[in-house]
Amino acid sequence: MEVFPITIPCFSTAILGFGILILRLGIAILGLGIALPSFVIALLCLELAISTAKTQFWQRKDAIYLSKIALSGIFDRKDPSESVIYSS
């Protein structure tokens, strides 16, 4: 029985494809690592706004301000000081 030489290039192509897949996964994890801290900070800011609104109702302006900062961090990806006007 004769073995065709085509099996070796197919195997090396599969190894190359797997290497490209691992490289793409690494790039995706790197991108997630860059985006994740800002998302976590925005969620923590939103949680702080909710707890502030629950415990101290008279400081509602601060809770609204913090929630606007959190939502602008999640959706707008801008500097929160530019998109939120806070008047005391």
How far is the C-alpha of 57 from the C-alpha of 55, rounded, in Å?
Answer: 6
Tokens of 8: 């070796």
Pick the most confident of 24-28, 32-36, 83-87. 24-28
Identity of the amino acid at 54: K
With beta carbons less than 8 A apart as the criterion, state whether 39 and 59 touch: no
Tell whether 36 is covered by a domain.
Answer: yes
Tell whether 57 is covered by a domain.
Answer: yes
Global pTM? 0.32
Tell whether 2 is covered by a domain.
Answer: no
Query: Degrees (nearest 5) of the Cα angle 87, 81, 42?
Result: 110
Domain containing 75 equals 7-83
Tell whether 88 is covered by a domain.
Answer: no
Residue 47 has pLDDT above 60, yes or no: yes
C-alpha closest to that of 49 among 74, 78, 76: 74
**Tally of structural domains, the chain:** 1
How much is the pLDDT for 88? 46
